[in-house]
Structure 1
Amino acid sequence: MTTPSPFTYEALPMRVRLGPGAVAQLSEEITGAGLQRVLILCSPEQQDVGESIATALGDQAAEVYPHARMHGPVEVAAAARERARQLGADGCVAVGGGSAIGLGKAIALEHGLPIIAVPTTYAGSEMTTVWGLTDNGRKRTGKDRRVLPVSVLYDPELTISLPPQVSATSGMNALAHAVEALYAPDSSPIINLMAEEGVRALYTALPAVVADGTDLEARTEALYGAWLCGACLGATTMSLHHKLCHTLGGMFDLPHAATHTVVLPHALAYNQPEAPRAVAALKRALDINSDPATALWELAGRLGAPRSLHELGMAESAIDAAIEAAMTSPYANPRPVTTEGLRHLLSAAWAGKPPTT
């Protein structure tokens, strides 16, 4: 028996509903949060879902605001904040993935309006106090309790229409949250259990989800895994993987989930020599005896997801600028981050090569 090292664990205060039909309880959640009139936030692609939710809410819905964009451009956040003020909204319902929920967080950060999240992807932002805003190609992130949703409704029926590749990259993005939590400096036995179970659930569910998007059982299992992985992200410090993805996304406007998909196996391979406990946990979760980084790279291939930054539109000549930006501020990581190490990592990720240490 291994005695746990001293640790601190703090649960984040929020309600979670998970299961088919959960969105039908949204009106009850709004009332329970003490709200009367909410602004419905979504991306243009999710406007139909936003409109249907607004119709169901009736007078509780102030308006549908379908202008969320990835990476949280500051100008979009400013316009949304002003619209919420004009409408007299006392809260927001963010419907969609990380873009919509990120927009809700921007409004909460500025005006303190409570958020209720209705995720339709596996991004996991709804489980964290992390916010992100992009200004002039630089993405800033921070943590603030004001941006944490007061309630989250996970309804797998809302994910049925999620295309196979979006499901794949969104799920890989969620896996990254748990992987980094396993070697975070402020992890704990509780978080490790959640991370291992979250990885297991997503690794099992994603191939079934991509094969048949109407498989409600697989969709439910994937949302369950995404919830656990997101909670791990919310409770720990982000490391090399997230730092690189925020840098690449902010500088080159690369698609968020796809960037996580490409970078994850390479960042994990970089850190594996200094994270033996994380490697052991991942081997259990993936039910393998081989290298976890390679297993995740192979999973992306089986899912038909992108495996190179080149595919996402990044120029090879941009690698040097990305390295310089990533090295500008220190961050927690189990293995020291060097310019040479980042060049090896990003060159392999750009070309779509298998991950190596």
Structure 2
Amino acid sequence: MRRFVHETHAQRVVFASGAAREKLAEEIGLLGASRVMVLAGPSEAAVAARVTADLPVALKHDEVVMHVPVAVAERAREAARAHDVDALVSVGGGSTTGLAKAVALTTGLPVVAVPTTYAGSEATSVWGLTEGEVKTTGTDPRVLPRSVVYDAELMLSLPVDLSVASGLNALAHCVDAMWAPRTDPIDAALAAEGIRALAAGLPLVVDDPGGLPGREQALYGAYLAAVAFASAGSGLHHKICHVLGGRYNLPHAPTHAVVLPHVLALNGPAAPEAERRIAEAFGTTTALEGLEALRTRLDAPRALRDYGFREDQIPDAVVAVLPVVPESNPALVTPDNLQQLLRSAWEGATPR
């Protein structure tokens, strides 16, 4: 008999290509906010200024750092308190959304997210903070943005290589959701549709970076991926990448893009039903065949050594990852096969 419990997060989602400024003002109006803190890194300053032009902005905060160091989060929290803000608006990718979540975690302030990448953090109640070499993650309903404004036009300025890495990060949410600790049939359905949309949209982004159809498909797929991941929880792939990112300061999206096929190669044979659904979403005979064909088509990131991970760090990474491997992972994870997985990802070998 089929038995499962599925929890759907309460969140408004607004898809409106070309209308971020108008829709964001409407969302802030629904909150009744009168003193808004806008969080956006320097590279997103112009976009943030444009889409928040109609808001009652009390503070603009631009200290955005990858993996959200605790000290950075504390400074943002203090700024929010000092300016007596009553709502947070994040304009940017996962690091910006993560900073807004860190502020919401301790203040309870509502967040409205305006994503400019396919990171997906805006659709989850997952937060992450880094202190020293350790990245700690958790879930809390306070950090889930009250609403998200998706405007595919804001993605047009995202370079193709970053679009590919960010899109494959979203794809990793889908794959991990197939066998994560809390996965259920609804998560699997969302993840499969997310894979289909991303596999259709990302090649269009590469072929026509200035066109909206590919950007809209990828953004739709990234949202579905994040919703599936939020419900299913962190699987092996995300546990590995969180360790690599926090411990060795590796860039988030490229790390996910590199590691994903190696985790799929390990888990796929041990999870035949999930493997079948992933393959069907790609329209290929096997899941790994579909993923590798897409990665080749996109000229995706291949090797962790290209992003600062050193060969001599592999044994240390194995020791750090093993304690956080989910008990429900379909394949048995051992020191030996984990070391082989990380070595293959480091050198950019063909996943097997």
Q: What range is the shorter-chain TM-score in?
A: over 0.9
- 1:72-94 CA deviation, whole Å, 9 max, x = no partner? 11111111111111111111001
One-letter amino acid of the counterpart of residue 345, structure 2: A
Aligned partner (choices 90, 94, 97) of residue 98 of structure 1: 94
Paired residues of 1:131 and 1:141 also in contact (CA < 8 A):
yes
Paired residues of 1:139 and 1:246 also in contact (CA < 8 A):
yes
Paired residues of 1:297 and 1:307 also in contact (CA < 8 A):
no
Aligned partner (choices 147, 157, 160) of residue 161 of structure 1: 157
- 1:312-347 CA deviation, whole Å, 9 max, x = no partner? 111100001110100133524122221111011011
SS of the residue aligned with 1:116? strand
Partner of 2:182: 186
| Bigger mean CA deviation after superposition, 40-49 or 156-165 | 40-49
Is 1:310 aligned with 2:305? yes
Alignment of 1:279-290 (within 5 A): 279-289=275-285
Partner of 1:8: 5
Paired residues of 2:40 and 2:64 also in contact (CA < 8 A):
yes
Aligned partner (choices 25, 28, 31) of residue 26 of structure 2: 28
Paired residues of 2:177 and 2:233 also in contact (CA < 8 A):
yes
| Bigger mean CA deviation after superposition, 4-13 or 153-162 | 4-13
Alignment of 1:136-147 (within 5 A): 136-147=132-143
Shift of 1:213: 1.3
Is 1:151 aligned with 2:175? no
User: What root-mean-square deviation, in Å, do the aligned CA atoms of Structure 1 and Structure 2 show?
Assistant: 1.2
- 1:16-55 CA deviation, whole Å, 9 max, x = no partner? 0013124121111011123221111112211111222332
Partner of 2:77: 81
Shift of 1:64: 1.8
- 1:127-150 CA deviation, whole Å, 9 max, x = no partner? 111000000011000010000000
- 1:214-259 CA deviation, whole Å, 9 max, x = no partner? 1101111111000100101111121110001000001111100000
Partners of 1:17 and 1:151 lie apart in 2 by 8
TM-score, normalised relative to structure 1:
0.95
Partner of 1:48: 46
Is 1:259 aligned with 2:260? no
One-letter amino acid of the counterpart of residue 80, structure 1: A
Partner of 1:248: 244
Is 1:217 aligned with 2:210? no
| Bigger mean CA deviation after superposition, 295-304 or 102-111 | 295-304
Paired residues of 2:170 and 2:222 also in contact (CA < 8 A):
yes
Partner of 2:169: 173
Aligned partner (choices 311, 317, 323) of residue 322 of structure 1: 317
| Bigger mean CA deviation after superposition, 92-101 or 30-39 | 30-39
SS of the residue aligned with 1:31? helix
Partners of 1:223 and 1:309 lie apart in 2 by 26
Shift of 1:354: 1.0
Paired residues of 2:125 and 2:230 also in contact (CA < 8 A):
yes
- 1:269-312 CA deviation, whole Å, 9 max, x = no partner? 111121111111111100001x3224323422321221100111
Q: Rate the CA distance shift 1:182–1:329 in 2: closer, same or farther, 3 A.
A: closer
SS of the residue aligned with 1:95? strand
Partner of 1:333: 329
Identity fraction in percent: 47
Partners of 1:160 and 1:149 lie apart in 2 by 23
Paired residues of 1:297 and 1:354 also in contact (CA < 8 A):
no
Partner of 1:295: 290
Shift of 1:63: 2.2
SS of the residue aligned with 1:186? coil
Partner of 2:14: 17
Partners of 1:348 and 1:297 lie apart in 2 by 14
Partner of 1:134: 130
Paired residues of 2:187 and 2:229 also in contact (CA < 8 A):
no
Paired residues of 2:69 and 2:130 also in contact (CA < 8 A):
yes
Q: Rate the CA distance shift 1:235–1:143 in 2: closer, same or farther, 3 A.
A: same
Paired residues of 2:38 and 2:91 also in contact (CA < 8 A):
yes
Q: Provide structure 1 residue ranges, at least 5 long, that are not aligned to the other structure.
A: none
One-letter amino acid of the counterpart of residue 272, structure 1: G
Aligned partner (choices 192, 197, 200) of residue 196 of structure 2: 200
Is 1:239 aligned with 2:235? yes
Paired residues of 2:105 and 2:140 also in contact (CA < 8 A):
yes
| Bigger mean CA deviation after superposition, 270-279 or 241-250 | 270-279
One-letter amino acid of the counterpart of residue 204, structure 1: A
How many pairs does the alignment contain? 350
Q: Provide structure 2 residue ranges, at least 5 long, that are not aligned to the other structure.
A: none
Is 1:72 aligned with 2:68? yes
Partners of 1:196 and 1:54 lie apart in 2 by 34
One-letter amino acid of the counterpart of residue 316, structure 1: E
Partners of 2:218 and 2:303 lie apart in 1 by 24
Paired residues of 2:67 and 2:130 also in contact (CA < 8 A):
yes
